[in-house]
Chain A
Amino acid sequence: MANDDTTREQALDWAVRALDPAFEDWEGFSRWLEQDASHARAYDEVAGAVTEATELIAVAPANDDTVEEADAAPQVRSVARRRWLGGALAASIALVSGLALWHGSGRDLYRIETMAGQIHTIALDDGSRIDLAGGSAIELDRDDVRFARLEQGQALFTIRHDDADPFRVAVGENRLVDMGTVFDVRNDRTGLSVAVSEGAVQFNPDGENIRLSPGEMLKTHKDGGGYVVSPIASARVGEWREGRLTFTDAPLEQVAADLTRASGIVFVVARGSGGQPVSGSVLIAPLKDDPRTLGPLLGLAVHAEGDRWIIGAR
């Protein structure tokens, strides 16, 4: 047991040092990790707890109108709210532009847009939440909190389900109706895709009427030529929120577009290297520090050209 305590103390020391951006003694750190299998586990426990607590604090929802929440713990809510506003984090996810627009069809729509490299969280009055990825635009209705139109980009919907008043998402001509609760929608050059991690979503109830279950993803083609439903790991749905992107046999075009949206750094596919599909998992934060790290991670050639980064087959 004394041994366990020593390991834990050492793990704490390493976590303090290794989680600092200036840390460089990776060799020493690796040596310690390799000394004993319990070391890696102890480190993971500490680093995992720290990361989880950080995320918890950072994304603590600033909702102020959920009935249950008010009933359950009124003072809890106001504290969370104050912290949230006090943190410098509020500045980092600041809304870029909230431009009021009135579109036809009797809706009082307003528009929220993010710049590439940003994530914006929208807390709706009904307790639902929308996380808007970078380089995206969404329209919401002032008079109807159960409606959203994803104009471009990507959004994760965490919806409070109501059988009597289901949440509807419009994407171009397509309609999505939530059957409860968490789903990711994206609309870009490659077409529309909908991935469900909890509950279910009904795709075009008046047309194809497809029910998507957790772990399923539907993709349409941009030119309207049908759709494909394929499996997706639920943990991957909306993972971009945590600053991580995973590609499975993805075309380079999509990799470049996704990375640009998530990082705010412009990635372009090198001429003549289209075909080769890419697989891998990338964290965005280190990529922002140095886009070249993408090379070894995804097995690509990466070089700068002015402000842009050209990625291509090796």
Chain B
Amino acid sequence: MQEIWLKISALPTGAVDSPLSYLFRVADMLMVDRFRSIRQAEKRDRDWTEINVGAEGGASPEPSAERRIAAAQEATRVLSMLDRLGPRVAAVFRRHRIDGVGQKQIAAEFGVSLSTVESDLRTAYRALSTWKERGDEV
């Protein structure tokens, strides 16, 4: 399992505009990442023992192909789920998460208020966490 080292004591105060903000951002992403790795490992362990007991030498001929197709289908499901939330919600989500554009700028681009953008993202995030919960139960 991956380890994380954070040496906050060695923070160079004044070296960047808001070093704490950067550090928090990094730490936040690492923690979410770690959470997901653990989740995945747990799930993999389950799948492994269910499916691959006795597989010779760990060599599995076809797993990635199946997984790849499953991922493509899952991506399509996610996209159509987002589309069903409304065209603006889907577009705002894409602009923010995939293109990495800030919420303020998105509000300007779409000609809506910042709180509308926030509420659109909230709608999308809610749908996604429900999607994920359901997926984990299967």
**Are A244 and B33 also in contact (CB < 8 A) when A60-B71, A181-B64 are?**
yes
Residues of the A chain whose Cβ atoms lie less than 8 Å from the Cβ of B21 = 23-24, 26
Q: Which residues of A contact B35 (CB under 8 A)?
A: 44, 48
Contacts of B78 in A (CB 8 A): 53, 56-57
CB of A18 within 8 A of chain B? yes
Cβ A213 vs Cβ B65 within 8 A: no
- The answer, yes or no, to whether A61 is at the interface (CB within 8 Å) is yes
Q: Chain A contacts of B73 at CB under 8 A?
A: 72-73, 76
Q: Is the CB of A61 within 8 A of B58?
A: no
Whether A182 sits at the interface, judged by CB under 8 Å, is yes
A296 adjacent to B62 (CB under 8 Å): no
Closest to A158 in B: B64
Task: Assess whether B132 is in contact with A45, with CB atoms less than 8 Å apart.
Answer: yes
A60–B76 touching, CB < 8 Å: yes
Nearest CB of B to A33, in Å = 10
Binary per-residue interface labels of chain B (8-27) against chain A in the complex, 1 for a CB within 8 Å, 0 otherwise: 10111001101111111110
In terms of DSSP, what is the predominant structure of the interface of chain B?
A: helix
Decide: A199 near B125, CB < 8 A? Known: A61-B71, A89-B98, A297-B6.
no
Q: Does A134 contact B (CB under 8 A)?
A: no
Are A45 and B68 neighbours in the complex by a CB distance under 8 Å? no
5 A-B residue pairs with Cβ-Cβ distance under 8 Å, sorted by A, are A21-B102, A48-B35, A49-B133, A293-B26, A297-B7
Q: How many residues of B contact A (CB 8 A)?
A: 74
Q: Which residue from B37, B63, B131 sits with its C-beta under 8 Å from A235? A: B37
Of the residues A73, A87, A181, A246, contact of B98 by C-beta under 8 Å: A87
B2 touches A281 (CB 8 A): yes
Which residues of A are interface residues toward B (Cβ below 8 A)?
A: 8, 12-13, 15-24, 26, 29-30, 44-54, 56-61, 63, 66, 68-69, 72-73, 76-77, 79-80, 83, 87-89, 127, 129, 158-161, 163, 179-182, 198-200, 211, 213-214, 233, 235-236, 242, 244, 246, 279-281, 283, 285-286, 289-290, 292-293, 295-299, 314
Measured between alpha carbons, how far is A72 from B4 in the docked complex, in Å? 41
Contact with A along B88-115 (1 / 0, CB 8 A): 0000001011111011100000000000
In the A-B complex, the 7 residue pairs with the smallest Cβ-Cβ separation, listed nearest first, are: A49-B132, A60-B75, A26-B24, A44-B35, A49-B129, A54-B97, A280-B5
User: Other than the known A8-B129, A213-B59, A292-B12, what 13 A-B pairs have Cβ atoms closer than 8 Å?
Assistant: A17-B118, A49-B125, A49-B129, A49-B131, A66-B65, A72-B69, A83-B76, A83-B79, A281-B2, A281-B4, A286-B25, A293-B16, A293-B22
User: Contact: B58 with A297, CB < 8 Å?
Assistant: no
Q: Which of A58, A180, A279, A280 contacts B61 (CB 8 A)?
A: A180
A129 to B67, CA, bound (A): 12
The answer to the question of B138 belonging to the interface, with a C-beta cut-off of 8 Å to chain A, is no
Chain A nearest CB, measured from B135 CB (Å): 9
